[in-house]
Structure 1
Amino acid sequence: MRRRLLVLVAATTTLVLVAFLLPLALLVRDVAADRAVQAATVEAQALTSLVATTDQATLALAVAQLDANSASEVTVFLPGGERLGADADRSPLVELGERGSSASAEVDGGREIVFAVGESANSAGVIRTFVPDEQLARGVARAWLLLAGLGVALLLVSLVVADRLGRRLVRGATDLAAVSHRLGRGELDARADTSAPGELGVVATALNGLAGRITDLLREERETIADLSHRVRTPLTTLRMDAEALPGGEQSERIVAGVDAVDRAVTDVIQQARRRGAVPERVSADAADAVRERVAFWAVLAEDTDRELTVDVAPGPLPVALARGDLEACVDALLGNVFAHTPHGTAFTVRLEPRPGGGARLVVADQGPGLADGQHTGALRRGVSGSGSSGLGLDIVRRTAEQSGGGVDLQTPAGGGLTVVVDLGGPAGSALAAP
């Protein structure tokens, strides 16, 4: 933008200077030529009275003196054919002067001026003055250099002014872009300079208003989530107390463990709501340990529903760029989908392996009914479900994978069922250490 403004100003200023200085340069040249011709004319006219009244010797002395002191060449042609002053041929213009006509004309090397003294019938002589080109152009080169310097100076001044203006405009636009990037990174306290020139100030004001509105909405969202989560804690506390009051046994321990899991999920929701809008921190978790723990939790339910579970988890650690709670929520969403959307007795497999370049690859494959044709892409969108559920499970998985720098792929094997492949990116600097 700044460069384009400079080019535009330079082109416009150059056109204006050419339109102004070119006629002025031609005028200076014409004025210099007219001045030289006028000076030569005055000198020649001073001899007119001498040619008509003095003798030849006095006239010769006056012509020689004038010719020596003048920048032009002066020659006097007398009626008898004599020639006084500078050496010059009898040109057609001189012959015209002998017939009583005064004239001037452009000739090779300068301008020739002829004055006839007396009538053509009683001519006393002809005065010829020759002004060379050097005299006609005297001072023109210096004047043109001054005009060129003036033009360059004016062009530089215009470019300096345009650069200052362009720098201010570009700085305003750059500041707006920087504030936009900061807001995009979650720095909601970033504000643009509203003193920017023209429309940039209007855009800055609007951007600041948008940032303030986003801040208010996020604060309201955090408060709402915190309020809802706090309300859930009361029945959870009651449920834990009831579970602990049950006679000791495996069922009581499972209920308490389930209540603890829900309590951790509520705590994670509150913490995520508080972190939202802040600059994301670098986190890391061991995928192998987290997957083993969550598979062990779901294995009890798999046994109760007669599901054959195959587990193949690579030895850890397998660090991924996720918080432990987010990783566990992703695994729970995948395994929960298997139990929610496949009938009892459906076998499924959980496999975790290192991912090339760092991170881990989690594969959950079941032998259930799978997805119909065309539902693979839509199933990953938030709120989309082909079985009447909330449609949040696979969306949680997708967002978690993308948060770590990975992705999700839904596959339908030839034998039926559904295979979900989740690539989890490794933390920064882990690629070199990846197995």
Structure 2
Amino acid sequence: MTSIVALVFLVPLGITLQQDTRREALADAARRSAVVVGALTATADPKARQRAVAGSSDDPARRVVVHGLDLGGPGRADPKDVALAAGDRAPQVVDVAGGVVRLEPVVLGDRTAVVEVFVPDSALDAGATGTWVTLAVVAAGLVVASVVVVDRLAGRAVRSARTLVQAAMAVGDGDLGVRIEPGGPRELAEAGYAFNRMADRLVASRTDERELVADLSHRLRTPLTVLRLDADALDSDDTSVGSFSEAELDRRRTIRRIRQAIVTLEGEIDVLINTTRKTVAQEVAVGMCDASEVVRDRMVFWAALAGDQNRPHKVLGAQLRIPVPVPRAELAAALDAVLGNVFRYTPQGTAFEVAVSRRDGYVAIRIDDAGAGIANPDRALRRGASDRGSTGLGLDIARRVALQADGSVSIDRARLGGASVVMLLRDPEAAPRQVSRFGLVGRLARERETTGRRWSRSKESDG
């Protein structure tokens, strides 16, 4: 663009300078012609006229020629042009070989003479080469200077835009503590200020939301305390000493489950309150836990309930340490949500199994049952959607926990005949995978790959 602007201004300037040089050369020819014309009209002496012609130029090739008086030798102009100038009685400029001639008629008594002055091309184009070289150097200098200035201005704009993009991607990944120093062009600076205000609003909204959750959780303590006191007032749940009838054993086991559920509920509420009262900066750090340990711990609780309902159950692959990048309480809540659905929506005596495995950079926690299955898996994974009259939040809890670990949740048909819910969590100890990045397109492609991943049961290792 700068080159075009330079050409638009400098080319006409060069042409104008060249025309000025031509006009100066023709003006000099007019002055020389005027001297000779004055001499011709002032005297009729042939010698005086000859001296005037000889004094018009030191170069014989450029001396004035007077047609009609035979002074100055043969002329360069065509006789027709000479006759035309004499007839019109007006000066004319005619192109000839090697330059131009100026023909000026002069009336001498009863006849008309024509004064011819030759101007060579070298005089018409004097200094043209130097002028064009100078203009070319000026144009190149302007282009270089403009490139340097534009590069500095564009560099500031690019750096500001890149900083804004990186900050936006960081917020999209959950880092709400990112702020930028607005800079660059006015529009980008305003976008930077708007981004900082948006991030502040997000932090404030998230803090208010979690404070509200903590307050609501705290309000649950009162009815929970009443339940705990009532449970403490019940009979003993000890079945190890004494001889009891089958009905008494069932009653004491029920009392034990009630007390265990109250203790578990109190612990979950404490975790919920402590978690939601953390600051946003504290929440940025990713929690870690052992998936196998969580599965074994939660199956202690669910195995007791399964024994009371005569449910066959198995735990596979939970004997080895398998770390996952989610807090222990959240993984336990997700596991309880899925297992709770098994106990809630399948008849007593229905078998189930829990398996843990790792492969291809992911950890899979699979919960299978021998029930009727889930008719609409996509609807079951939508938050608040349920065909069983519940809140529809159980599987959504598992889905959100999986997304925190860059994984997903899928529902399929189990080997036992019922539903199979698979939670995929990123394996933090796996070797990093090389992923091609192509801006926003590559980012979306990776997100689609993650959310759409299915766990192939044919390759699963139960060990």
TM-score (structure 2 length as normaliser): 0.76
| Structure 1 position 304, deviation (Å) | 0.7
Match of 1:379 in 2: 380
Match of 1:426 in 2: 427
Superposed CA offset, 1:87-138 (max 9, x none):
6456323455677945321223211112344348445x54321101121122
Letter in 1 for 2:271: D
Superposed CA offset, 1:323-366 (max 9, x none):
222222222112111100011111222222x2212443222211
What SS does the corresponding residue of 1:389 show, helix, strand or coil? Answer: coil
Go from structure 1 to structure 2 and tell me whether the alpha carbon gap of 1:183 and 1:419 turns closer, same or farther (over 3 Å shift). closer
Letter in 2 for 1:303: G
1-side partners of 2:223 and 2:419: how far apart?
A: 36
Match of 1:67 in 2: 57
Q: What are the equivalent positions in structure 2 for 1:371-410 lying under 5 Å apart?
A: 371-372=374-375, 375-410=376-411
Match of 2:353 in 1: 349
Which one of 125, 143, 146 corresponds to residue 137 of structure 1?
Answer: 125
Q: Give yes or no for contact 1:285–1:320 (8 Å, CA) kept in 2.
A: yes
Q: Give yes or no for contact 2:50–2:71 (8 Å, CA) kept in 1.
A: no
Q: Give yes or no for contact 1:384–1:390 (8 Å, CA) kept in 2.
A: yes
Which of 1 and 2 has higher RCO (CA within 8 Å, sep 6+)?
Answer: 1
Go from structure 1 to structure 2 and tell me whether the alpha carbon gap of 1:128 and 1:338 turns closer, same or farther (over 3 Å shift). same
Mapped pair 1:261 → 2:267:
no
Superposed CA offset, 1:305-330 (max 9, x none):
12121332353012222222222222
Match of 1:42 in 2: 31
Go from structure 1 to structure 2 and tell me whether the alpha carbon gap of 1:28 and 1:291 turns closer, same or farther (over 3 Å shift). same
Match of 2:20 in 1: 31
| Structure 1 position 75, deviation (Å) | 3.4
2-side partners of 1:62 and 1:119: how far apart?
A: 16
What SS does the corresponding residue of 1:43 show, helix, strand or coil? Answer: helix
Superposed CA offset, 1:171-211 (max 9, x none):
55445434433433444454455777555455445444433
Go from structure 1 to structure 2 and tell me whether the alpha carbon gap of 1:188 and 1:243 turns closer, same or farther (over 3 Å shift). same
Q: Give yes or no for contact 1:367–1:418 (8 Å, CA) kept in 2.
A: yes
Q: Where does structure 2 lack aligned partners over 5 or more consecutive residues?
A: 240-252, 434-460
Q: Give yes or no for contact 1:283–1:427 (8 Å, CA) kept in 2.
A: no
1-side partners of 2:358 and 2:32: how far apart?
A: 104
Mapped pair 1:214 → 2:206:
no
Select between 300-309 and 205-214 the one with higher mean Cα deviation.
205-214
Q: Give yes or no for contact 1:401–1:408 (8 Å, CA) kept in 2.
A: yes
What SS does the corresponding residue of 1:67 show, helix, strand or coil? Answer: coil
Letter in 2 for 1:328: A
1-side partners of 2:397 and 2:425: how far apart?
A: 13
Go from structure 1 to structure 2 and tell me whether the alpha carbon gap of 1:104 and 1:249 turns closer, same or farther (over 3 Å shift). same
Go from structure 1 to structure 2 and tell me whether the alpha carbon gap of 1:61 and 1:236 turns closer, same or farther (over 3 Å shift). same
Mapped pair 1:337 → 2:341:
yes
What SS does the corresponding residue of 2:273 show, helix, strand or coil? Answer: helix
1-side partners of 2:67 and 2:350: how far apart?
A: 137
Superposed CA offset, 1:210-230 (max 9, x none):
333323322222222222333
Go from structure 1 to structure 2 and tell me whether the alpha carbon gap of 1:191 and 1:263 turns closer, same or farther (over 3 Å shift). same
| Structure 1 position 289, deviation (Å) | 2.1
Select between 237-246 and 99-108 the one with higher mean Cα deviation.
237-246
Match of 1:227 in 2: 215
Q: Give yes or no for contact 1:368–1:417 (8 Å, CA) kept in 2.
A: yes
1-side partners of 2:430 and 2:416: how far apart?
A: 40
Q: Give yes or no for contact 2:76–2:96 (8 Å, CA) kept in 1.
A: no
Q: What RMSD in Å do the two structures reach over aligned CA positions?
A: 3.6
Go from structure 1 to structure 2 and tell me whether the alpha carbon gap of 1:259 and 1:382 turns closer, same or farther (over 3 Å shift). same
Letter in 1 for 2:127: G
Select between 316-325 and 234-243 the one with higher mean Cα deviation.
234-243
Q: What are the equivalent positions in structure 2 for 1:23-172 lying under 5 Å apart?
A: 23-51=12-40, 53=43, 55-57=45-47, 59-68=49-58, 73-77=62-66, 79=68, 82-84=70-72, 88-89=75-76, 91-92=78-79, 93-94=81-82, 101=89, 102-119=91-108, 121-123=110-112, 126-151=114-139, 166-167=154-155, 169-170=157-158, 172=160
Superposed CA offset, 1:36-71 (max 9, x none):
10111101221224345265555545544432169x
1-side partners of 2:166 and 2:416: how far apart?
A: 53
1-side partners of 2:88 and 2:380: how far apart?
A: 112
Go from structure 1 to structure 2 and tell me whether the alpha carbon gap of 1:201 and 1:158 turns closer, same or farther (over 3 Å shift). same
2-side partners of 1:396 and 1:291: how far apart?
A: 16
What SS does the corresponding residue of 1:131 show, helix, strand or coil? Answer: strand
Q: Give yes or no for contact 1:73–1:129 (8 Å, CA) kept in 2.
A: yes
Which one of 157, 177, 181 corresponds to residue 169 of structure 2?
Answer: 181
What SS does the corresponding residue of 1:369 show, helix, strand or coil? Answer: coil
Letter in 2 for 1:91: D
TM-score (structure 1 length as normaliser): 0.80
Q: Where does structure 1 lack aligned partners over 5 or more consecutive residues?
A: 1-9
Aligned residues: 416
Identity %: 34
